[in-house]
Structure 1
Amino acid sequence: MTQENGRGEGARADDDATTGRGGRWRRLTGDRRGRLLLAGGAALVLLAAGTTTSWATGSWPFPEDERYCWGSWRENSGPGFLGDGAFIDDNGSRSSTETAPTPARPTGTCTVAIDTGYTDGDGDDVKKATKVTVVYGPAPKDAEKRMSWLADLLGDGTAPMPDRLPGTVNGGKGLLVLPKRCDTADGRPTTVTLTSSSSQAWNGGSLASSSGLGGMRSVTALLVAAANAGMERAGCADGEPLRTSSPVLRLPEKEERYGANMCRIPGLTVDEVAGRDLEYRVGAVTRDLQSCAVRNWRGSADFYTAVMVAEPRLSALFDGATGTRAPAPGWRGTGTFTNAYKVVRADCAGRPATFLMHDMSERDATAFTNGVTQRLGCPPVAPRA
């Protein structure tokens, strides 16, 4: 199903978009190419009532437009990628593919893709491609794949979902853990994830840009709507849909460049030469969630990611990966250290806290865990230096 000839003005940049390439994109927007790339989703004022928001549930008297993601999203309503604002100069198409979960096969995916473009003042064709993907299904069974999956979804400037929903969001992606009744037979939680990508390309170059998701509150509404539809299809809904009405916790800052303490964690340092190419993003700092993501902005590559999770359903995503003994001499709790990741779980301020350090040395993992436990007011998990 394809919608041709989208109408409307070029969309505005998504203020809350937080892709790994965000810092580089902002640095490049000062040149001619950058100024042409400020396209994205129109801002959305969300009315918080009912299951999620009216645009997601389809309760407004909109015309019978196309529906996406198992019927949970409606065309020409809500965030920019679903509306005419996704197209530039009345040019483009929107397409969708999806596989719905069922009781016999409780996994599913849905993808909405937008292709649009324009000709710039020099006669170059500039093409923009956006893809938004939702996946319904359990966390990966393999521990290493699961830790990489969690590092990507929980890091990079995420905030907890509001109204005690067990999930995290930023402006470009999100993760929501479904109720226990939707768990797999082997006990793995079922999740709904949303990821997005958007880029603009021209002869000789390309650059990441906004996906038009409308910010963190919009991503939350998209996830909740898809989760409710997915649970209905999979047969694990109980008649009480997930609801959200509160604002999302705002993050403390955008990306920052190298400093004395990366992610504001004492002792989490890199040498000055390596640090010139690094930037970091601090996520929410709460009792349930804390995160730190460091990347090389020149290549947009992850340098390392570290996360603390204490919310029970999010924490359940780590079950089976934290082992039965201390991960290394002097460490408290149980955990596993490999070349790819380090994960440890220990009591902290009266409840279990799980720490994931992906692509991080033991020295840096020590600094991160002890910095977070100090914030939380509990004993160190790692041995003191």
Structure 2
Amino acid sequence: MVRRFLAGACAALALTLGACGAPPAVITPTAAVTAAPAAATAGAAAAPATPAAAAAATANDPAIEQAVRQKLKDAGMTGPYTIIVEAVVGDAARVQAIPADLAQVDPAWMFLKKQGDQWVVLAGPGTAFPPEDLTSVGLPATLVPGDENSAAAIEQAVRERLNADGATTTYTVTIQAGIGDFVRARAIPTDPAVIDPAWLFLQRSGSAWRVVAGPGSAFAPEDLAAAGVPAALAPGAEPGTPTCDTLREPLAALLKVDVAQSAADFNDIIGGGNLSGCQLSAAGTGANFSSVADVARQIGALLAERGWQADPQYVADGPTGALQGYRNAGELAQVSVDWEPAAEADCPSDQPVTDCKLTPAQQLYTITLNAAPATQR
């Protein structure tokens, strides 16, 4: 069962801004898995028995990912997810959404059916589906997950390769990015000061995931191409990555909380259009942050120190959220800060949330900074 969700700033400001968030790109890093999940068994490594040609065609259909990400957004699941098409049966498909933090949020399955030119989610997101639940909405019972679990299978394949290469230390495995039947994983040792983290690239081949490149700390483009790995999966290939690389540590020092980095698409709320770039995200409570306005002001000052200029067109403020825009050397950064009450606060639905009596720990903050190349106006 999904255990925790953190709403994004755009959701909190929807009444002010309209639909300001766009679904993130398929290339989405995930946070560390602190231990190999129990599901990572030999049986879990098996991918669904699906005709290879049908699976490949569906995996490359952008409409299926768009439908999945919209469903995640509608369900309040706003963290970064890697999307894996696990099985295809006729005009129906099973997809697994692998979340940013497997220690807090379980991977979720969704089941889709093609209706005309569109894919529609008919079941999910969720972690368990009896066959009758699928057949009742017109989906084939053969789509029910057996031992298949993409997140566990990918991690198992990584650990098997590390063991085969003689690894003697303990590693944390993260699934950083995915495109079609390829993913990029990161193996982070217990002591990175002694042993460097390593990247591995995996491909779904037949009924299993296998490592096709790595482990290693650097990969020439021609080496990845020879293994069939999409160039966009190369570390640092995501647009805007250098900006997030530069800002991540200063932002973490400013906020005094962990800051996650991922590749993500976002909507330019003024210029329009979907921009491909990177995202820095942080979370905390009222015990960490004094107010929305104070956090937004501090981040603005941090960006100004690094040459970013505030764009007055990108300003939206409210009692529970704020959004601001900044420009620097042809790049656009959108910063959002918002909070929502914890579920246990039980705030009355007929009163403004600001009138709810909350402890600092019951104010759940989400902070995001999205950056991408954009034409200066």
Structure with more of its chain in helix, by fraction:
2
TM-score (norm 1): 0.26
TM-score (norm 2): 0.27
